Structure 1
């Protein structure tokens, strides 16, 4: 009996020693314990002037022997004005995906094979949803080209559309500098992601998880995206 009690205390004591402590650090270099972090989250959810107006972005998690350090960012959501003159978030559905795995395995390659789940792992990824008759999509192509040129092979650059490969290739003959890795013929997986407004860009971390989304022309949000890429690389 005594031996069993001693063994129980031993395992409890060892689990306490091996328990990892979580700390949080913001992109503004503000460090918080988990208790501080939860208190701030609680206050943000209780304040009417803040609730629903900010999103939390988990940029990365660094695991040590006894600590986990999570780098986060609180970002203000840009609202649009609807027909009833009320403010709303046009990308609320996509924003729910932040922190989850980007389902690349739902898409098919040029040989009609599904991509492997880990296809995008190892590098940060920029995924741009577009189509050839979308004026703002075409308007942002020069900025996408500059972004790809700046980061080169250190980042995956993917362009996804519901249009046919034939139509995309014909378009690229006139705009060859839109030199992303193109995945056309993707209406069904696009529907599953509930992408309806174009252009929209997803930023993924090295694990293939969605870090942030950028709706509309990326020109006005480029610095934000680059700042996050700096943390992800």
Structure 2
């Protein structure tokens, strides 16, 4: 089962001890999560991981964080020095109440995702407007008679990146069929251009598109959606059931048999 990354996931590590005062890396300023990861992707700075008291941990500790995140009483603060090209992750203690609130919010997001998924499947779209990297716009009217595959992703989403080779193969297989493949993200065009220098994504990329993300109520990534030629939503992957590509392949095969 592939890991689904929640956009607002907090990072944590080990069994750490609470500190009243949180360490701030010298010369670095606080950033929000999105700005921090965009800076890291663009500039590739030297990055360090610190405990609340300023003790440094090996950055490789991050590899196992997501496995136990909701059991850990820590969140992560993001810092960077854009002049010296440095970045830091600083772990911050959460009270039991804050941990409970964080986990309750996450569980509610899961419930909302599943409720929205059930509501969307079987519904018929009445509006869809997508604008690609070159400024070309696609509307639901333009796409009438075509099946539509929507992949929701972002540049720092590891599971999103891991499935990209499979997405590329899927698009290649149906190149001459009436199906279009879009990769929708909230990332800006310049960030995506930098990303594509290192990673191949052959789908038609739709940048800076929070409107469509909000339209489908996407909070978890990757999310894959298949819409039939009449605009009916056939499939949205389950939150804990992987990316759903196996089922999507079956549905595409029924529409476009070999």
TM-score, length-scaled by structure 1? 0.55
Cα 1:216–1:135 change in 2 (3 A) is farther
| Gapped regions of structure 1 (runs ≥ 5) | 1-82
In 2, are the aligned partners of 1:206 and 1:232 still within 8 Å (CA)? no
Query: Aligned equivalents of 2:181 and 2:229: distance in 1?
Result: 13
Tell me what 2:172 maps to: 149
**Alpha-carbon shift at residue 153 of structure 1 (Å):** 3.0
Say if 2:186 is the partner of 1:158.
no
Tell me what 1:100 maps to: 124
Cα 1:149–1:117 change in 2 (3 A) is closer
Cα 1:94–1:122 change in 2 (3 A) is same
Query: Aligned equivalents of 1:130 and 1:95: distance in 2?
Result: 21
**Alpha-carbon shift at residue 121 of structure 1 (Å):** 2.0
Within 5 Å, give how 1:158-197 maps onto structure 2: 158-176=182-200, 178-197=201-220
SS of the residue aligned with 2:252? Answer: helix
Higher relative contact order (Cα pairs below 8 Å, separated by 6+ residues): 2
Query: Aligned equivalents of 1:218 and 1:152: distance in 2?
Result: 27
**Alpha-carbon shift at residue 210 of structure 1 (Å):** 1.4
Query: Aligned equivalents of 1:94 and 1:162: distance in 2?
Result: 20
RMSD: 3.0
SS of the residue aligned with 1:143? Answer: helix
Tell me what 2:140 maps to: 117
Aligned counterpart in structure 2 of residue 202 of structure 1, from 218, 221, 225: 225
In 2, are the aligned partners of 1:137 and 1:217 still within 8 Å (CA)? no
Tell me what 2:163 maps to: 140
Say if 2:238 is the partner of 1:221.
no
